[in-house]
Amino acid sequence: MASSSILPNLFLMISCLLPCVCFSTDTLKQGQSLNSNLTIVSANGVFELGFFSRGQSQNIYLGIWYKKIPTQTVVWTANRDYPIRSPSCSLSINREGNLVISDGRGVTLSFTTIDHTNSNTSATLLNSGNLILRDNMGNTNSDVYMWQSFDYPTDTLLPGMKLGYNTSTGHVMSLTSWTTSEDPSPGVFSLSLNSVSELVLNNTKVAGPKGYWNREVSSFFIDFRPSDIFEFVYFDDQYSKYLTYRVYNMSISSRLVVDSSGKVKQFIMIPEGWWGLFWEQPRPSCQVYALCGSYSSCNDKLIPNCNCLRGFQPNSLREWRQQVWSAGCVRNAPLQCGSKDRSLPIKNVKLPVNPTFVDASNADRCELECLKNCSCNAYAYSISRGCSLWKGDLVGVEQLESGGYDLFLRVAAAELEKINGGKREIGLDLLSFDFSTKTNAVNGELSDKNKNASGEKWEAELPFFNFSSISTATDNFSDANKLGQGGFGLVYKGKLRNGQEVAIKRLSRGSKQGLEELKNEATLIAKLQHRNLVRLLGCCIEDEEKILIYEYMPNKSLDFFIFDHRNKTILDWEKRIFIIEGIAQGLLYLHQHSRLRIIHRDLKASNILLDNQMKAKISDFGMARIFGGNELQGNTGRVVGTYGYMSPEYVMEGLFSIKSDVFSFGVLLIEILSSKRNTGYHFTDSLSLLEHAWKLWNNQRGHELIDPTLLDPSTVLKALRCVNVALLCVQELACDRPTMSEVVTMLSNEETTLPSPKQPAFCTRSSIEKSSSLNKLAVSSTNYVTITSINGR
């Protein structure tokens, strides 16, 4: 039995690895069969029809995609509701003239609707991407088809396709998203034209028939204005009402997509086969109706956008982790109905949809009206609105920064006690503490324990936290509160008594190297204040425990986004530029404007944290060094840093300066633009990212370096300018690199003329290890693990 189940899966895996073989023509005739490893290609070579699967799924679909694009872009799927799981599937035309999919086990699926026997039918994939059925003996008009895929769109609208309905037959042509980016089955978001010719996305009006041009819309606007590339046209006659569009230049490929996040996006092809985002709507994700499902709130300032309301948990944790939130949330504890239920306030929100208004003279009476009605799930009261009750699922709650209402959520009394009472015990006892002068005042023994092996005291003015309180705040450092692991210890999430969330960095016991860095970090950050530097709130030195407490960054670190194929789409062009400018401003402060002149020495993507507004915060100052006002360059026998980010003079000679940080910034800038790591990623010619960037730039192909999801006509020049700045920062000689002051000017002032960059320093691991071997020191690290010790020559 085991072997019989393995063989089909093995066959499927092997068949997916084999290259597809194309039919010699664009047509499938009766009597022919298109197997799973065969495809049909349109006459112009643009579109391809065949079988495909996504991710780790064994589901097989028949679809149409662009042939010459590196990343498969599917534009139509025949059997999205009924996937095939047999690798021996095939496509053919039966004796009735219908297209049928066979699974090789006797099960067939017909997805066309010809209702009479026809022995001379053929299927052709047109240059437009339209799959048609034609009667070769019937009507000779080539524009009259027995069936066409353009009448049955899935999630994509190609030029010439229609979005609307047939008034005589009632047939509707609408777009429905994929469930996820890896699952073609129908998702929860659909775009259609309703009976009064309004374009609606999940029942929310997008535009009226004349609103395409003048923005007379009720919610958000889909940008159907004329452009130099394509034109949208609305038709209304006695047979049909529909919206379509055409491109002026037929050599330009364009597609409109409703994606799995509920956004409508228009893409155009840019050189070398990559897609550029021309526009998307709605830009604030929370304007997508029911994006987060029921009993959850949406916040455009947070990643992810959706969070369950207090007292609720995800209905499907698996989907929630995939950022598919439409299933919403469910209660942790059922309502008791009556006096055992309580009201939980949620401040400053956009209220849910579909309220019921009742007479109540004040907030107390409004609460009573809700609690005495067992179907009431929430209420809100204001002088302007009166009393609003919600008797069904709560949908459309949006967290606002200001100007919102207070929503009172009905929860079981036991759940409210758990939410409020449980957190009341969590807090940190705070004492004023100065390592250099107040040690004995706090703890007579702490003075001795607050020294390193050489007896040197810490000199940092920081609040001091009690260890037992920290342990309580992190639930005794439970794995559930673990955020990650740094070079010398673990990082946990905790919560202060006042409700403030914090990040707690706990040094591993016995780590002398880590103690030096922890001390260095506490000493430096305590004296620094800038919006683009992470804020240190305090520390704990108790027995063998050495802990730092920071402000909590809800959106994790930059590497979480730019190096993940799914998360990187969250950082659009505007967000990435905002992050780049924030990092540059933070470095400029360190190098020039702070009380101390500081070189970070370990700038990398994982050390850039992001707050709830995606503001960049430079973190981890354990390896930083203070420079005197007239000091230009330092020398060290212990080189520390991260492969791929260290400047050549630092790696090879142990020399460091502010230009070392500039080099690291240049590498980081290229990574942000390309969504690829500098090391650990090799191109077809075995080049590192820096070498690849330099090669593309020299060949006037710099746009190919940039993540294709970021490019559109409005951003390409700015993106290329950023590539230029990045290459200036990674030039081999430190004296050729700009200062951070010059970098900030280059990024912010587009009128500034940029010089041509010289060849970068291709600092590879092999060159570092060769240098290290001269000192009989073996080093092993990766792009995201910090080097602790390398001796310079």
Residues contributing to the annotated binding site: 505
Tokens linked to 692? 């690849």
Could you give the residue ranges of the DSSP H alpha helices within 593-682? 648-653, 658-674
Q: Could you count the other beta carbons within 10 Å of the beta carbon of residue 127?
A: 13
Instruction: Classify the C-alpha dihedral 357-362-365-367 as positive or negative.
Output: positive
The active-site residue out of 602, 620, 661, 707 is 602
- What is the torsional sign of CA 574, 575, 577, 582? positive
Residue 157 forms beta bridges with which residues? Answer: 256
Contact between 394 and 352 (Cβ < 8 Å)? yes
Distance CA 207, CA 201 (A): 10
| Residue whose token pair is 């050599």 | 251
Enter the DSSP assignment of 592. I
Q: Of 495, 497, 505, nearest to 525 (Cα)?
A: 505
Token look-up 């191109």 returns 683
Helix axes 716-729, 573-588, angle to 10 degrees: 30
Tell me the sheet residues that pair with 257.
Answer: 156, 265
Locate tokens 């491109």: which residue? Answer: 247
- How many of the other CB atoms lie within 10 Å of CB of 452? 12
**Could you count the other beta carbons within 10 Å of the beta carbon of residue 393?**
15
Tokens of 162: 């229609």
Calpha distance 303→609 (Å, rounded): 13
Tell me the two tokens of residue 499: 């409700």
What amino acid is encoded at 612 in this protein? N
Query: From CA 111, how far away is CA 630, in angstroms rounded?
Result: 77
* Dihedral of alpha carbons 157, 162, 165, 170, sign: negative
Q: Are 502 and 550 in contact (CB under 8 A)?
A: yes
CB 484 within 8 A of CB 620: no
The tokens for 643 are 């492969």
Beta-carbon contacts of residue 517 (< 8 Å; ≥ 6 apart): 487, 488, 622, 623
3-class DSSP state of 210: coil
In contact, 299 and 309? CB cutoff 8 Å: no
Output the six-digit token pair for 356.
């019921």
User: Residue 540 carries which side chain, given as an amino acid letter?
Assistant: C
Q: Letter for the amino acid at 707?
A: D
> Minimal CA–CA distance to 42: which of 131, 111, 118?
131
Q: Say how many Å lie between the first and final Cα of the chain, rounded.
A: 63
Please state the residue numbers annotated as binding site for ATP. 505
Burial of 104 (0-12, 13-18, 19+ CB in 10 A): middle
Residue 602 appears among annotated catalytic residues: yes
Give the count of beta carbons closer than 10 Å to the beta carbon of residue 481: 17
CB-CB contact of 687 with 696 (8 Å): no
Nearest to 156 by CA among 170, 180, 173: 173
- Structure tokens of 63? 């679809």
Task: State the maximum Cα–Cα separation within the chain, in Å, rounded to a whole number.
Answer: 102
- Element spanning 462, H or E: strand 461-465
Angstrom distance (rounded) from CA 716 to CA 321: 33
Question: Rounded distance, CA 391 to CA 376, Å?
Answer: 4
Least Cα distance to 55 among 181, 182, 173 occurs for 182
User: DSSP label at 451?
Assistant: B
Residues forming the active site: 602
